[in-house]
Amino acid sequence: MLQFIFPLLSSLAYSSDVLFGKIALDEMPFDVFLFLLGICYTVFSIFIYIYNYTKINKYLLDEKNRKYIYYAIFAIVIGTILADCLMWYSIKISSKMNLPIVITLIHSAPILSLILVYLCYNVILDYRAIIGICISVIGCCIAVYYSNDIKND
């Protein structure tokens, strides 16, 4: 059950950070925002390291784990740092009128991730997954199309 609850909570948190981030970015320089983001990640990382000191050191010093460490660094640089910078910059430069379009495009990541995972691992997609992807893409298109009709009252 937790494998369903945690992703839903993650989705809620990930979606709400865009709203609060946009409010902050409207009145804050982008580099200051990235600095604060880095500080928060650093503090969080220090707590994780202190709590799991021996386990982390043992894993990092084991030679057979080097390949996985390189994969993790690559994933963190591309998937987290670059993606976060691009996401927050997109949110900063968007107007309130086209913010729904930007958010919809950013949150289409699960669709792309599902396709990439199946392509990378050479697994045939179940027809239900294909139908789900199609429904999600159609939903994203509808949301983007009608988000242009938002009126500022």
Q: What is the pTM of this model?
A: 0.69
| Cα–Cα dist 98/132, whole Å | 26
Q: Say yes or no: 109 and 64 in one domain.
A: no
Q: Say yes or no: 33 and 63 in one domain.
A: yes
Q: Say yes or no: 5 and 56 in one domain.
A: yes
Q: Say yes or no: 25 and 81 in one domain.
A: yes
Q: Say yes or no: 52 and 74 in one domain.
A: yes
Per-residue pLDDT of the chain in tens (153 residues, 90 and over written 9)? 777 788 788 878 777 777 788 888 888 999 999 899 899 999 999 999 999 999 999 999 999 999 999 999 998 988 888 888 888 888 888 887 777 777 777 777 777 877 788 788 887 778 888 888 888 888 877 877 776 665 554
Range of the domain at 15: 1-93
Indicate the SS3 state at residue 76.
helix
| Cα–Cα dist 60/49, whole Å | 12
